[in-house]
Amino acid sequence: MIELSTGLAQDIVSRTMRIIPFNVNVMDARGVILASGDAGRIGQLHDGALLALGRQATVEIDALAAGRMHGARPGINLPLRVGGQLCGAVGLSGEPDAVRQFGELVRLTAEMIMEQASLAGELQRDSRHREAFVLNLIRGEAGARPELEAWGRRLGLDFERAQAVLLVELEDGEADAALAAIQRLQLALLARQPALLSATAGPHELVVLDAFEADAAGVEAIARRRQQALHALLRELCPHPFTLTMGLAARGIGAAAVSCESARAAARIGRRRHPGQQQHSYYALALPVLLSGLDAGWRADELRRPLARLAFDRSGAALRRTLDAWFANGESAGATAAALHIHRNTLDYRLRRIEEATGLDLGKSEDRLLLYVSALMGR
């Protein structure tokens, strides 16, 4: 049942008194005046409202009846119902014959205002409920899984469908302004795509959880298409510069947490490698995203060591550019030489210098892989 607040009651008084020439009082379910065109009556107990609430019917009070009631004035009082529940009363001050014609209009207006407020409250509660679910889901806490499974069923999320987190990040703006923009975007997205679950995860960050049907072979292709569709919609809805990053699509109760983690890693790496690009994806950056879990510790030190040795060579910068071009061109000597605008002999000389500096043999697949990983981690 909706509970009449002072603000809502005042809204009813203000809006109805703009269309009728009589004072309007709005009372709560106990008959206490919450709002009135006569401010001196606010907080008083309204005897006419108590009668209307008790009888659940319209009560008219003429001058004679008002004289027998404490603090009463002539007028008409009508009970207010929302969703079949009695929740207050509205009263019009004046002789019943004069105000009667306006009574039903005021009651209908008041109930419409209350119904709109109730619906807005339900939508807001539902939005907060969905947002809390997404935030708990992406945390990936094992102990919360039974509750999240039940929660997901209530929201219609089938954990056996593929799930992908898409991370929307605003590129600029002060925290307060960015947060307001993110929340406006979230509401606009909800209106256009109500099946998408989303949550504001920070002043610049919106997490969108997309679930879809796909077999194992088609998950990546479908996920990419859905990212493109969301990107097109966001360009329509969001006036601010943003990036959109998709994480790994997977199934199960823990999929959203994994997808969110991979999306954040892909966003971080994508911004560093392709600063002007508006979209990033785990699938385009899978290896560096997977390696991002080795950012610290002795393993990371060892993986970075081959590339670090190039820095000690007097031509280290040129050797690094050569190595990056060689890997970017599929280790093809001809394509690499063309890309660098150098002679094949010069390329061969530089590759030998790389082998000498790193202590690795580029003819061996394991050494090439180690050097490739070292180069990835050094970016």
Cβ neighbours for 285, distance < 8 A, ≥ 6 positions apart: 266, 269, 270, 273
Q: How far apart are the first and last CA of the chain?
A: 59
Q: Is residue 151 part of a domain?
A: yes
Cβ neighbours for 108, distance < 8 A, ≥ 6 positions apart: none
Residue span of the structural domain in which 206 resides: 140-291
Q: How far is Cα 340 from Cα 347, in angstroms, rounded to an integer?
A: 9
Judge if 237 and 159 occupy the same domain: yes
Q: What is the pLDDT of residues 101-116, one digit of tens each?
A: 999 999 999 999 888 8
Query: With bands split at pLDDT 50, 70 and 90, how would you rate the model's confidence at 120?
Result: low
> pLDDT at residue 236 above 80?
yes
Judge if 27 and 88 occupy the same domain: yes
Q: What is the pLDDT of residues 255-312, one digit of tens each?
A: 999 999 999 999 999 998 888 899 999 999 998 898 887 877 888 888 888 988 888 8
pLDDT at 272: 86
> pLDDT at residue 237 above 90?
yes
> pLDDT at residue 123 above 60?
no
Strands 279-281 and 242-246: parallel
DSSP 171: -
Judge if 367 and 280 occupy the same domain: no
Judge if 245 and 282 occupy the same domain: yes
Judge if 264 and 313 occupy the same domain: no
Q: Is residue 12 part of a domain?
A: yes
What's the CATH code of the domain at 177?
A: 3.30.70.270
Total domains in the fold of the chain:
3
Query: With bands split at pLDDT 50, 70 and 90, how would you rate the model's confidence at 71?
Result: low
Other beta carbons within 10 Å of 304? 18
Range with top average pLDDT, 78-87, 108-117, 125-134, 160-169: 160-169
Give the dihedral sign, CA 336/337/342/347.
positive
Q: Is residue 168 part of a domain?
A: yes
Q: How far is Cα 271 from Cα 243, in angstroms, rounded to an integer?
A: 9
For the chain, percent of residues with pLDDT exceeding 90: 61
Q: What is the pLDDT of residues 205-230, one digit of tens each?
A: 999 999 999 888 889 999 999 999 99
Q: How far is Cα 49 from Cα 36, in angstroms, rounded to an integer?
A: 13
What's the CATH code of the domain at 47?
A: 3.30.450.40
What's the CATH code of the domain at 317?
A: 1.10.10.2840
Residues present in the chain in total:
379
Q: Is residue 128 part of a domain?
A: no
Judge if 214 and 165 occupy the same domain: yes
> pLDDT at residue 32 above 60?
yes
Judge if 282 and 146 occupy the same domain: yes
Measure Cα distances from 222 to 14, 52, 97, 137, 218 in Å: 53, 61, 69, 22, 6
pLDDT at 1: 56
Q: Is residue 132 part of a domain?
A: no
Q: What is the pLDDT of residues 173-215, one digit of tens each?
A: 788 888 999 989 998 998 898 888 999 998 999 999 999 998 8
Q: What is the pLDDT of residues 332-348, one digit of tens each?
A: 999 999 999 999 999 99
Q: How far is Cα 61 from Cα 48, in angstroms, rounded to an integer?
A: 7
Judge if 182 and 281 occupy the same domain: yes
Q: How far is Cα 206 from Cα 199, in angstroms, rounded to an integer?
A: 6
> pLDDT at residue 124 above 90?
no
Of 256, 291, 326, the position where a domain reaches its end is 291
Judge if 179 and 254 occupy the same domain: yes
Give the dihedral sign, CA 259/264/269/274.
positive
Out of 79-88, 95-104, 149-158, least confident range = 149-158
> pLDDT at residue 72 above 80?
no
Q: How far is Cα 326 from Cα 309, in angstroms, rounded to an integer?
A: 18
Judge if 283 and 153 occupy the same domain: yes
Q: How far is Cα 32 from Cα 15, in angstroms, rounded to an integer?
A: 20
Judge if 209 and 263 occupy the same domain: yes
Which parts of the chain fold into alpha helices (H)? Answer: 6-17, 47-55, 63-67, 96-139, 145-155, 175-192, 219-237, 255-273, 286-291, 298-310, 316-328, 333-340, 344-358, 365-377
Q: Is residue 122 part of a domain?
A: no
pLDDT: is 34 or 314 the higher one? 34
Of 291, 314, 341, the position where a domain reaches its end is 291
If we measure between CA atoms, which residue out of 374, 372, 290, 366 comes closest to residue 331? 372
What average pLDDT does the chain have?
Answer: 89
Judge if 92 and 13 occupy the same domain: yes
Q: Is residue 300 part of a domain?
A: yes
Of 250, 273, 291, the position where a domain reaches its end is 291
Q: Is residue 205 part of a domain?
A: yes
* pTM (two decimals): 0.64
